[in-house]
Structures are given as C-alpha cells and as structure tokens.
Amino acid sequence: MRAIRVATAALLGVGALAVTAPAAQAQGDNSGFWATVRPTTVPPGGLVRLRATGCEQSVTVSSGVFDTVTIPRGRTTARARVDRDARPGAVYEVSFYCGTFWQSVDLTIAGGGPDRPDRPDVPQRGVHAGEGGSFAGLDLKEIGLGAVLITAVLGTTHRLSRPRADEDGAA
C-alpha cells in the first residue's frame, strides 16, 4: 500500500513540473535566440537595423514607433524606418518574436529634452540592460504563483509519502 502512495506522490510531482515547465520555457529560456537594434538611439524618421539570430523560422518585429517588420527565415536582418512623429527623448520597446520565444530591446528617440536642448543626439537616460536570463518578462505575480504551486506539490508529496499510524501492523 505504501508503494502506491509513493508512486502517486511521485507522479503528482512530475505532473506539476511538466505543467509548469512549458510556461517557463516560453517566457524565459530563449534557447540561443538573440535580438538587437542598431543604432539604439535614432532621430525621428531615421532607419534602424533589426537583427535576430538563433531562430530557425521567420521573426516578427513590432514596436509602437514603426510598422511591424518580418525578418524572413534564413536571414538575420531587416530595416525599419522610425515614424517621423516619434517623440524626441522617448524610449520605445521593440519586441522580437520567434515562435514561442521573444525578446524586447529599447530604442531611444534622439532629440531635445529639458536637460540638454543643445545636444539633441544624446539620449536622455542611461542604458537599459539586463533583460536576458530566466526572469525576462516575468512579474512578481507569476513568480509567486509558481512558488505556491511548487510548495503545494511538495507538501502533498510529503504528506502522501509519510507512513500512517494504522500501517504499523496494528489492526
């Protein structure tokens, strides 16, 4: 009887990990997929070069500052023209989608600003880095929910695998 409970607990644990693994892979593990935008600071109406490597299919690139662009399968780059009405000093997110994997890169619009009106080509804030790794795109709610699920599975596994008082041979 104990073997059945242990097997059930083990299957429950494996099942919980199997259910949570695809979500973690889709959000964080980019499997060698990398994306860049050059230059990272561009004037309104300027051209940017979009580069995506490590994807074996077409890559879709979207942003609020230019029309959606597709980098065809077998190629790694494409160009996009930034909207002429892009707000100087603003930072726009550029998202690259390769199937279930995605990455976001910031694009700064050059020009003006209250701090340095004499130098329109200088971005108005520092570099935004560190979006990669296993936590990219996750918020605290998702991390908390994952921790609660794992804790519940471990607690259930422990409870089901403990010997019961009526199993020690007493009738």
Q: pLDDT over 70 for what percent of the chain?
A: 62
Q: What is the mean pLDDT of the chain?
A: 77
More confident residue, 74 or 120: 74
What does the pLDDT read at residue 57? Answer: 94
Domain-by-domain residue ranges, the chain?
34-140
Residue-wise pLDDT tens digits, 31-43: 689 999 999 999 9
Mean pLDDT computed over 113-121: 45
Pairing outcome for strands 34-38 and 47-53: antiparallel
More confident residue, 20 or 94: 94
Mean pLDDT computed over 108-116: 66
Residue indicated by tokens 């979006």: 131
- Model pTM greater than 0.75? no
Question: Does 2.60.40.10 match the CATH number of domain 34-140?
Answer: yes
What does the pLDDT read at residue 141? Answer: 78
Whether 119 has a pLDDT exceeding 90, the answer reads no
Whether 51 has a pLDDT exceeding 70, the answer reads yes
Say how many C-beta atoms besides its own lie within 10 A of residue 100's C-beta: 11
